Amino acid sequence: MSRSSQPLFAPRLDWVIFLATVGFSLTLLFFGKGKAAAAAKQEIGGAVAYLATPVVLVRRTFGLWQENSALRQQAVILSQENGTLRDDAIENSRLRSMLGFKDRFPMPLKTASVIGFPGAEIGGRILLNVGRHDGIRINSAVLTPLGLVGKVVEVSEFASLVQTLEGNAYGVSVMIERSRVAGILHWVGPHEWTIVGLSTGEDVRVGDLVVTTGAGTVFPKDVRVGVVTKITGQGEANIGWCRVRPFVRFESVEEVFVVTPAPTTDRGADSLMMRETRR
Amino acid sequence: MSFIGFALVAVILLILDVSLGGLLSLGPIRPSLTLPFVVYIGLQRGPIAGTLFGAAIGLGLDVLGALPLGATSFAFCVVGFACGKLWKNENAFRLFWPWTVFLVLGGAFAEAVSHYLVARGGGLDFMPLYLRSGLPTALYTATLGVLWFLSPLHRVRSS
């Protein structure tokens, strides 16, 4: 019986490299959540954001025509709303002074450009050209004139990564503007959201405007989120029985506003971390 | 093409994927510009190059993307390795076999990994999410790969 010239356990370089690489990737996947990994991710993200900036000019050119058309339509709607709002503001101001309410804290906003859509669409993340240098912090809310986009989840010196409502793993406290019924906005699939926590029989109708409640410290109150598009039958509160479509098209958003924390306020997870660091 | 040439193309594709990839979106479906390159390297340069380039490009996407560090790196290195291992370079490199078949299978696997992680993170059912977004994304990526194969940019066709 002839014996093979190749030893039984001869090292196969391709398999060795493959297994080592898979091991490295899985190690990163399961254990790469430390501060060093996060810091490296943020800094490299910032560098690539810088490199990608010229490329964005090309993308913007494509979006100008579409944006112009959308803005014209928006201007007509807003001008109609403006008259109503002016009356409401006067009335509101009078009522506030009568009731002794303090004026709502003004929101300092920072304009930012979207310079990248990293990862798969399902991940729903966008890269902005502003970072710590511009006063952006983790958990800063991100908005457009159309409505809520998401919140900042990673910040480097000159760039920040935003988790949009698409693919989000966090809930947003929202309410139906008309009936003031509140719940948690929850992503349930590609371009599909629901509001969980609504009890059976709550007053929710197709076409209702969904706005933020301002609960928590991340999202300001009364920011438009979307519109109720479907009532799927009033079932269990914890799975949601209505469908919501956000106003913002996350895959094509170009300019956003980031709510920067006011100098005197010290809120949010990032501020908390900074306080801890100072100690 | 030399190793440096491949590395340069990989970096350019990575930047284009991040900055311009959104332009190609069809609703929730967004093709990957980098996966066809990993498949191509695996098929043309063998399992070692496929593994290393797949892992490096995947790591780049992880650093910039929504998925946890190591997820895309794992998926792409498996795709690159499998392409290099399952197909012998001396055979004819044709449109359907191996190019389209490996692209579809590689895309389906990579999307399965990413959608599994997203579904797990969001507390959603994997299969409906995968069928609605993952498989269409893999097919869209494969379509772009086929278009590239048919275009003048691809020179391997004549060999």
Nearest-CA distance A216 → chain B (Å): 20
- What pLDDT is recorded for position B158? 46
The pLDDT score that the predictor gives to residue B54 is: 95
Please check whether residue B70 touches A, CB under 8 A: yes
Q: Report yes or no for ipTM above 0.90.
A: no
Alpha-carbon torsion B68, A190, B136, B129, what sign? positive
Nearest Cα residue in chain A from B134: A122
- Taking an 8 Å cut-off on Cβ atoms, the answer to whether A29 and B69 are in contact is yes
> Closest Cα partner for A172 from A236, A125, A216, A127?
A216
Angle at the Cα of A42 (from A41 to A48), degrees rounded to 5? 90
Element containing residue B63 per DSSP (H, E)? helix B35-64
The reported pLDDT for the residue numbered A78 is 80
Cβ neighbours of A118 in B, within 8 Å: 18, 61, 64-66
Mark which residues 123-142 of B lie under 8 Å from A by CB: 124, 128-129, 132-134, 137
Nearest neighbour of A25 by CB, restricted to B63, B74, B122 = B74
pLDDT tens string, chain A, 279 residues long: the values are: 444 445 544 568 889 999 999 999 998 888 877 677 777 777 776 776 666 666 666 666 666 766 777 777 777 778 778 877 877 777 777 666 556 544 444 678 888 888 877 766 666 888 888 888 888 988 899 988 888 999 998 888 888 888 898 877 778 999 998 888 899 998 888 888 989 888 777 888 899 999 999 888 788 888 899 999 988 876 666 677 888 999 888 877 888 889 887 554 444 444 443 444 343
Quick check: A120 and B47 CB within 8 A? no
Bridge partners of A148, per DSSP, are: A143
Domain ranges (residues) in chain A = 36-99+108-166+253-261, 172-246
Contacts of A191 in chain B (CB under 8 A): 27-28
How much is the pLDDT for A63?
A: 66
Topology annotation, domain A172-246? Thrombin, subunit H (2.40.10)
Rounded CA separation A114/A159 (Å): 10
Q: Do A55 and B16 touch (CB under 8 A)?
A: yes
Q: What secondary structure letter does DSSP report for A240? A: -
Kindly state the helix (H) or strand (E) to which residue A246 belongs, with its residue range. Answer: strand A242-246
A122/B122 CB distance under 8 A = no
Q: Do A18 and B69 touch (CB under 8 A)?
A: no
Distance from CA of B148 to the nearest CA of A (A): 20
Put simply, whether B24 touches A (Cβ < 8 Å) is: no
Q: List pLDDT tens digits, range A2-46.
A: 444 455 445 688 899 999 999 999 988 888 776 777 777 777 767
Mean residue pLDDT of chain B comes to 86
pLDDT one-digit tens code per residue, B38-90: 999 999 888 999 999 999 999 888 887 767 888 999 999 999 999 998 887 67
> A51 to chain B nearest CA, in Å?
8
Residue B19 has pLDDT above 90, yes or no: no
Find residues 71-90 of chain B whose CB sits inside 8 Å of chain A.
Answer: 71-74, 77-78, 81, 84-85
- CA-based diameter of chain B, in Å? 48
Higher pLDDT, B106 or A157: B106
Q: Which CATH architecture is the domain A36-99+108-166+253-261 placed in?
A: Beta Barrel (2.40)
- The DSSP H or E segment spanning A72 is helix A35-99
Counting one residue from chain A and one from chain B, the pairs whose CB atoms sit within 8 A come to 171
CB contact under 8 A, B121 and A125: no
